Amino acid sequence: MRSWKGENKVVTIKIYNTMTRQKEDFQPRSPGKVRMYVCGPTTYNFIHLGNARPLIVFDAVRRYLEYRGYEVIFVQNFTDIDDKIIKRAQETGEDALQLSARYINEFFKDAQALGVKPATHHPKVTEHIPEIIEMIAGLIEKGFAYEVDGDVYYAVEKFASYGKLSGRSLEDMQAGARVEVDERKRHPMDFALWKKAKPGEPSWPSPWGEGRPGWHIECSVMSLKYLGAEFDIHGGGFDLIFPHHENEIAQSEAYLGQPFARYWMHNGFITVKEEKMSKSLGNFFTVREILQHFSGQVVRFFMLSSHYRNPLDYSPEKLEEAKKGLERLSNALANGQEYSNGVNGIMSEEAAAAREEFIQAMDDDFNTALALSVLFELARQINAGVAAGEEKEKIAGLTGVLAELAQVLGLELKAGEKAEADAGLLKELVDFLLLLRQEARARKDWTTADAIRNKLGDLGIIVEDTPNGPRWKRK
């Protein structure tokens, strides 16, 4: 993929930072390098449509940053031990860690189908237990955590700016919490860093006894291990702002004594008929189920057709629309490539303007919806140019930019598949016309037979009559 930094231009990308609630100029910690962490799935089932959105969104962000010339270190974790995994393993009679490993393998199959590149690092919680224990011990030593009967809790009241990401005070959180009060906690909103093992659960030795990590501590440990303090982008779904990301900030900054991440990005919810997707409402869909009816590229196109921060409403009808949109782009690419085959393209004003408009859209908080509109305008110009017989060098240039920008979004425009389908259709049509010609010749209807042959000749099809029947080829 071509990396484009611009001619004599400063790269200025704006990112909406959830922490400050405004768009900010993107300034990575190290020039030319982006360190990026995105929360991955808890692996107890196939990923669902809600999981797929951050996968695709942040893959597109990563691809664009690379296109703009950055070296991107991208980390996405697997939560491979958790209450949900243990519960599912108990239901199926399977070993919890084996169940999790199986669904990690299934994750990679779905991610590949969606056009998602593997991360630079895919750390697993179970591979980082010593580092997790070390960080918990450090928090206890600094007075931000305490142990009670083998459990370790984070003391939220000790962190003065707790709530700064979600914009909620401790009083508001406590009033809106739907959790049973644990009398052992110093404050109702204190959260678990280490959980004492229950009989039959996977566990690891620690200074506080056998147990396993809490949910939030794992992402702090793994992001800091692979990216270092004050890394550039931390991403995830809108639902992770509280409590997960809020708690990550509290424990990480208390441990480090400095900022955790520079920019916080969150994608909007997936809804079904404008209701949040959930199993209880019966509107819950796994990616694997959807891939039985639509390609992963169609799902990706659908996800990118809306700005990542907006809610996105799912329906099979909308995937059908996405399929048609993807076909329009593929057909335009095929038309342009076929028309300008073998010709070197030129960077016309139209092609250069399209690339610049695409970059402006993506520089403005990764507006993929607006970027896609640029691709459709390119497709229109290609089709119109082919129909008007414009110079092939110009069409080749437009086609090249369309392919380039689609690739930045991770969209595969299957021009080859269309060309193959068109070739098959052409063969069927010519064979049918030759059959009609043979029937006309058998009736001694020479006028019709000659008319068919002459028309095919006008269309570039040469017909040869042989003892074994007619043969044809293109001029």
What pLDDT was estimated at residue 342?
87
What pLDDT was estimated at residue 2?
44
What pLDDT was estimated at residue 372?
98
Q: Per-residue pLDDT averaged across 104-113, rounded?
A: 98
Residue ranges of the binding site for Zn(2+):
39, 219, 244, 248
Residue ranges of the binding site for ATP:
279
pLDDT digits (tens, 9 = 90+) for 287-324: 999 999 999 999 999 999 999 999 999 999 999 999 99
Percent of the chain residues past pLDDT 90, beyond the cut: 79
User: Measured between alpha carbons, how far apart are the two ends of the chain, in Å?
Assistant: 35
pLDDT digits (tens, 9 = 90+) for 370-412: 999 999 999 999 999 999 999 999 999 999 999 999 999 999 9
Q: Per-residue pLDDT averaged across 432-448, rounded?
A: 89
Residue ranges of the binding site:
39, 219, 244, 248, 279
Tokens 């659960």 — which residue?
A: 201
Domains annotated on the chain, with CATH = 29-267 (3.40.50.620), 315-413 (1.20.120.640), 420-474 (no CATH)
Q: Which of 9 and 70 is assigned the larger pLDDT?
A: 70
Q: Is pLDDT of 266 > 90?
A: yes
117-121, 174-178, 268-272 — which one is most confidently predicted on average? 117-121
Q: pLDDT tier at 95 (50, 70, 90 boundaries)?
A: very high
Q: What is the pTM of this model?
A: 0.86
- The answer to which of 55-64, 73-82, 247-256, 341-350 has the lowest mean pLDDT is 341-350
